Structure 1
């Protein structure tokens, strides 16, 4: 299973790739594998504020509807519109084409609350 080392992981199976003060956020390869075929992704609109550890959207699969937990707090500045027509991108490419939102980070200190790839893998 893939756990890229250039991103941070939240215990609720979301990830954040930080570039400057912007984080690209999605769900982990482990999470998409547990969910199975993803049929629909419900994401917040640009401009919405999200808070670390709180629900920011949901993913619907053939098995279940699962909440998405924010790895970091901030303002949503971009939403991956491709997921509306192609939610399977989350299954096919969870760390690349299947990203969900981009957030302008409110507090860089929150990164200390996240895990690196080794700690995340051990947590599973």
Structure 2
């Protein structure tokens, strides 16, 4: 699902690029931990989904109060300057919520979009 969301975000007006969802320092720490633990390197995740269903290890079925669960989706974007950055971020968050709700209607969806660069 993460790659589908990444492609959706990249296709939107005003979006120039999608960055790794975690800040560089956190990505570095995670990669170091994986290298020490498994001896292999994991690629950076451009979209991070957590909670809600078996695919995502952080299940929280009580978050919504009705037992349906919650899904949080985080991504970081760079805008191309053709649209105001806040409007682009809102549109991306709306598109992510629609996509996730269509695929997982039993989950409450929260989309977090960080604008890392403007007018790249």
TM norm structure 2: 0.27
Q: Return the structure number with greater strand share.
A: 1
Q: Return the structure number with greater helix share.
A: 2
Report which of the two structures shows the higher radius of gyration computed on alpha carbons.
2
TM norm structure 1: 0.26
